[in-house]
Amino acid sequence: MIKRHSTYANVMATVALFVALGGVAWAVNKAPKDSVVTKSIVDQAVTAKKIKDGSVAGKDIKNGSVSGADIDVPSLQIPGIDPDSIQIRTELAVGTIGIGGTQALEAQCNSGEAAIGGGSTSDNSAAALSSSGPVIDGADENQIDGWSSTWSNPTGNELSVTLKSYVFCVPAD
């Protein structure tokens, strides 16, 4: 049978419920915009499944944080190009760059292929990328045959480095 008067326990439970709901309502309405910042996110907490398609653009990605090896080639969508036809060609240089010296690399597409992009990486953050860009075919200035990069050593010491220049190649028309 239900009692017609309130007990102390019932009153306190009701008060606690309203305090809890009031705190949540305040947080929803009063928490500052963008109050969740990078340092409040635990490492590995944001995964590909948690990112909405199309919500991350090139401007959102730190330069040098993504290399050719990180790209899932079949996921590339280029009008008129079959993703399965894209090949990645690389040129690797392992060694040292002397004080004030440079190291040039050039990754080339095979005969019958054309480049659609490329880039370069280094395993040593002290090495400076001086230039990176397409290699133009001497016979057809509208066709890119490869990707060239030049790295320099701005430090006062010799640098031990592994450098890679890579190019994305597709069958030429």
Q: Is 99 contained in some domain? A: yes
**Cα 105 to Cα 87: distance, rounded to the nearest angstrom:** 18
Q: Is 87 contained in some domain? A: yes
Q: Is 143 contained in some domain? A: yes
* Residue 65: both structure tokens together: 């944080």
Q: What is the CATH number of the domain that holds 127?
A: 2.60.120
Buried b (16+ CB within 10 A) or exposed e, 97-117: beeeeebebebbbeeebbbbb
Domain interval for residue 120: 64-171
Q: Is 78 contained in some domain? A: yes
pLDDT tens figures, 108-145: 888 888 888 888 888 888 999 999 988 887 777 777 88
Question: What average pLDDT does range 17-21 have in this prediction?
Answer: 68
Q: Is 138 contained in some domain? A: yes
Q: Is 77 contained in some domain? A: yes
Q: Is 47 contained in some domain? A: no
Residue 152 banded pLDDT, cuts 50, 70, 90: very high
Number of domains in the chain: 1
Name which of 140, 143, 138 is nearest 171 in CA terms.
143
Q: Is 42 contained in some domain? A: no
CA angle 108, 110, 114 (to 5 degrees): 80
Question: What average pLDDT does range 13-42 have in this prediction?
Answer: 68
